[in-house]
Amino acid sequence: MAKNPDRLASYNAKRDFDQTEEPRGARGSGAGYSFVVQKHAASRLHYDFRLEWDGVLLSWAVTKGPSPAPSEKRLAVRTEDHPLDYGGFEGTIPKGQYGGGTVMLWDRGTWMPQGDVEKGLKDGKLKFTLQGHQMQGGWTLVRMRGQGKRENWLLIKERDDYARDKADGLTKGTARSIDSGRTMEEIAEGAPAQAVPDTSPKRSRKAPAFVKPQLAKLVSDAPEGDGWMHETKFDGYRCLVSLGKGGVRLFTRSGKDWTEKFAGLAGAFDALPCDAALLDGEVMAARVDGSSFSSLQKALKEGHPLVFFAFDLLSLDGEDFRDTPQEERRERLASLLSGVPKGGALRLSEHVVGHGPEVFKRACEAGAEGIISKRIDAPYRGRRSKNWLKAKCTRRQEFVIIGYSPSDKKGRPFASLLLGSHVGGELRYKGRVGTGFSADTMTELAAAMTARKTPPVKDVPSDVARDAKWVRADLVAEVDFTEFTADGIIRHGSFLGLRQDKDAASVTLEEPQDDPQEETDMGSDAKIGGVKISNADRKVFPDAGCTKGDVARHYERVGDRMIALMGQRPMSLFRCPSGIDGQCFFQKHDSGGMPDALSRVAIEESDGDEADYLYATRPESLIAAAQMGSLEYHIWGARVDRLDRPDRLVFDLDPDDGLAWKDVRAAAFEVRDALDALGLRSGAIVTGGKGVHVWLALRRTRGWDTLKLFSKTFAHVMSTQQPERYTATMSKAKRKGRVFIDYLRNERGATAIAPYSLRARAGAPVAVPVTWDELEKLDSANGFHMADMEARLKKPCPALAVQEDLQSLTDGVIEKLQAWSEG
């Protein structure tokens, strides 16, 4: 569509405003980001889709209405630009007038462009995120080729959490106006407006109170090691968000309620699946033009879209997480935000574990202000400590405005601002800043400053004080500069904006503290097996008195033997960052923050997508995983070089809670004997829990389907022949008084506990391979502990002997099983 100097000339020319109640076209000011969809029963029913841009509403007529199905591409005919006031129009356009028919306000909200809008309109591809009542998530408008008189586009839903398979999932059924609550028929009849149902989330818990945020110490260089996670330092306003009964409240770092000031984030938190939460993060401008901070100032002033980058979760549904480790809080936050669409107003901040100096270098090269480094095991504390460190790429500080130097240029309210900072409890002069101001900014600053007769500081140089005008020391300026002089005065300063979220009385100079003395709320570090273990004295098994360092030392001790048995196999980690009494979880994928000592392999999953799985190649792999809070290691029955061919057959004998150990032990011998009757030799591993693994090593001659069918048949034959003793069904109800022969470990993607792995249970037991003679004498499956391993390692390993005894599921073995099942 050709650009017209009068964006609304076509709109006005097509309408007789003496006949229609539609608003007369007048271009708006500012650059808001509203969108509206109007259901329009003209000569043909359609939906008018409109995006606010450059003071008008860009408009498309979507013939069948928007579809939530990504495969459904809906024709959207570009029409004339409409005035902003049209976004509130609902009623009936008289017959005979352009577009005659009934108009309903079907949806509205805010939109966020993904890229340059003008370029997208010119190139014919406009991507954006919608936050409305009906339309949400990512969408794209694509212009069709071979245009005639009409400019035809396609409106397409992107694949995200708001996508649905039903083509008419948004438009099916009787719709009511989001403004008046009326149907199309009621609007046409002139029926009065109805109460519109409140669709905002009904949260039942009391919203958490504001707490003082954690603050970071300034250092010269980013810390090294896998005990740190690193995030880009945002250049916006720190914000704590409280959700709960009564709605959402947004607080600055000092506790000011800025819910109204951050109104552009209204509705951003509605989709979170919780009754109450307290989030920590940063408010930024959705579109950055120039510096991030100045863009945010402009966005707040002109009503541009905002985004909230969440980086911490302090409480959720009444549970306080401030004493839990940083990494665990991060995992919970990621889970809470997992259903939020990418590119929307609520986003999860990105982070990297380890590689601090490299991350810092990349951040500076990209023009960022710096990075924040956080100890992964640290709790959250409402003060500044060395658990959080910040390294800056440039010299930036907040300063108090104490006055200004007059300008001799006409229309310029001042030449430079005079700045101060609190030193030793006293406000001291720190220099001037005379660049970084637009004409509008200077006018606003002049209006914001309150004159006073005497200087608020005592140490202003006489040549500066001679012509200075003094102001009340209550405004805070953000200033970028190159360095301090020997006298502590800034050089080459540039004004970035006012910090309305900070109290002038709290502004002090911030100098790097590369060896701060404050307590970290952490334990001591240790070097174990060449791996730095942070918070090594944290109690992981409280009842046994075992620490995180003890766990790492266990895996250092048994590492060689474990790798010989489990190396090169995809594995799942069972992680308990704050110990077995805290939150524990399985992790099988690399989520982007695991140590380099762990290897990765891309595996196609059942849904067709690929994911990076973790595996170990050396003892350092196991110790590095322990540094990340891993206690248990569960392994596949195949190695990474041939994932389609299993080399391990495992029967996990899992007893009902009421069974005695002697019954489990007897079951292991019976399974051994049954396998032996088929011509298969097996070994035993006591799991550190209640059960026993009976297992054998295989040549890689058969696939997963054969292995699963064989093990399933074997388990069902055992349970059929002795139903009073065994079951092959996972159901707890059917397991009562029986041993469940778990054959499900023998399918692709399933795992079993690795030999010599710890178990996340009271007493810190260890899963240990045993000989059949040893098994006959054992009193339990959880009788081995870390302290037993040194003596254990001096003996030959029964599992290594089994692993070297390669066998095959030959046709003869399978025929014997078939005959046994039929007999």
Q: Measured in whole angstroms, how far is the alpha carbon of residue 731 from the centre of its chain?
A: 35
CA 546 – CA 538 distance, rounded (Å): 8
**Torsion angle defined by CA atoms of residues 157, 160, 161 and 162, in that order, rounded to the nearest 10 degrees:** -10
At 619, which amino acid appears? P
CA 479 – CA 483 distance, rounded (Å): 12
- 210 burial type by CB count under 10 A (0-12 exposed, 13-18 middle, 19+ buried): middle
The DSSP bridge partners found for residue 231 are: 372
User: Tokens standing for 26?
Assistant: 């007048």
CA 648 – CA 65 distance, rounded (Å): 55
Q: Measured in whole angstroms, how far is the alpha carbon of residue 119 from the centre of its chain?
A: 30
| Residues known to be catalytic | 233
> Where are the strands (E) in 6-100, listed by range?
34-41, 45-53, 56-62, 74-83, 91-93
3-class SS letters over 467-523:
CCEEEEEEEEEEEEECEECCCCCEECCEEEEECCCCCHHHCECCCCCCCCCCCCCCC
CA 372 – CA 370 distance, rounded (Å): 7
CA 100 – CA 86 distance, rounded (Å): 15
Asked if residue 696 lies in contact with residue 674, where contact means CB atoms within 8 angstroms, the answer is: no
CA 603 – CA 611 distance, rounded (Å): 6
Asked if residue 198 lies in contact with residue 304, where contact means CB atoms within 8 angstroms, the answer is: no
For the CA atoms of the chain, what is the radius of gyration? 34
CA 755 – CA 775 distance, rounded (Å): 15
CB neighbours (10 Å) of residue 9?
A: 13
The Cβ-side half-sphere exposure at 128, using a 13 Å CA radius, reads 28
Give me the long-range contacts of 483-487 (CB less than 8 A, separation at least 24).
483/395, 484/395
CA 269 – CA 282 distance, rounded (Å): 14
Sorted by sequence, the CB contacts under 8 Å of residue 547 that are 6+ apart come out as 523, 536, 537, 538, 539, 540
